[in-house]
């Protein structure tokens, strides 16, 4: 039972990364899994229930990535990039970040999902901000840097690159990544 529920969540996440939350139905999921729609409804009565489970899975992945990077024995200056990179590696060439996809559909989602998406979005910024603050404390970022704003710029830039990658070029993400590193650290770190 739990395996089927997990399969539904994973398939729904793939659908979100490829085409968005609003663009797939329980019928689509049932056909892809080779089960009846009733089987999907058994695990998730309404699409909102599935949406909330998706938000929970995204949140858990974000927490897991942050805890891993925060405790990893790597240079402080590399941690923000590794945090972002770990998330990007889970996204295929013709896909976007599932959180970004949910953000794009935000105004059309139930309030419970909107609240969850807002919390996860803020959590993503806060985690990256914490990693940047550690670097700032070591004197490796300018003292005037607003780490929350920088975290937002980095996340937005990389997620924008994921969108552009779908249309213009496969390696755009690494190009943007390298440029962001140069902007943050200068030419000494790339």
Q: What percent of the chain has pLDDT over 70?
A: 96
Supply the pLDDT for residue 92: 85
Long-range contacts of 140-148 (CB under 8 A, 24+ apart): 140/76, 140/77, 140/185, 141/184
Supply the pLDDT for residue 2: 72
Contact 121, 104 (CB under 8 A): no
- Is pLDDT of 57 > 60? yes
Dist. CA 154–CA 132, nearest whole Å: 11
Dist. CA 137–CA 42, nearest whole Å: 51
pLDDT tens for 4-18 read 999 999 999 999 999
CATH 1.10.357.10 fits 56-188, yes or no: yes
Contact 117, 109 (CB under 8 A): yes
- Is pLDDT of 22 > 80? yes
Supply the pLDDT for residue 190: 43
Dist. CA 66–CA 131, nearest whole Å: 9
Residue 141 has which token pair?
Answer: 């970022």
Q: Which of 86-90, 163-167, 186-190 has the lowest mean pLDDT?
A: 186-190
Mean pLDDT in the chain? 93
Give 72's DSSP letter. S
Supply the pLDDT for residue 187: 56
pLDDT tens for 115-159 read 999 999 999 999 999 999 999 999 999 889 999 999 999 999 999
The vertex-61 CA angle with 177 and 89, nearest 5°, equals 35
- Is pLDDT of 48 > 90? yes
pTM over 0.85: yes
């Amino acid at each position: 039972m739990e395996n089927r529920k997990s399969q539904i969540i994973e398939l729904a996440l793939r659908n979100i990364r490829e085409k968005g939350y609003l663009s797939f139905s329980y019928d689509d999921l049932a056909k892809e899994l080779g089960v009846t729609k009733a089987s999907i409804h058994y695990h998730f009565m309404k699409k909102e229930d599935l949406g909330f489970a998706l938000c929970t899975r995204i949140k858990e992945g974000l927490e897991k990535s942050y805890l891993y990077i925060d405790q990893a024995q790597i240079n402080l200056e590399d941690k923000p990039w590794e945090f972002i990179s770990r998330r990007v590696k889970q996204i295929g060439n013709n896909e976007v970040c599932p959180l970004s996809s949910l953000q794009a559909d935000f105004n059309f989602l139930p309030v419970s999902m909107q609240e969850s998406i807002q919390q996860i979005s803020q959590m993503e910024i806060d985690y990256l901000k914490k990693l940047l603050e550690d670097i700032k404390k070591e004197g490796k970022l300018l003292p005037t840097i607003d780490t929350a704003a920088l975290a937002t710029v980095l996340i937005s830039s990389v997620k924008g690159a994921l969108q552009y990658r779908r249309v213009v070029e496969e390696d755009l993400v690494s190009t943007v990544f390298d440029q962001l590193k140069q902007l943050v650290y200068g030419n000494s770190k790339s």
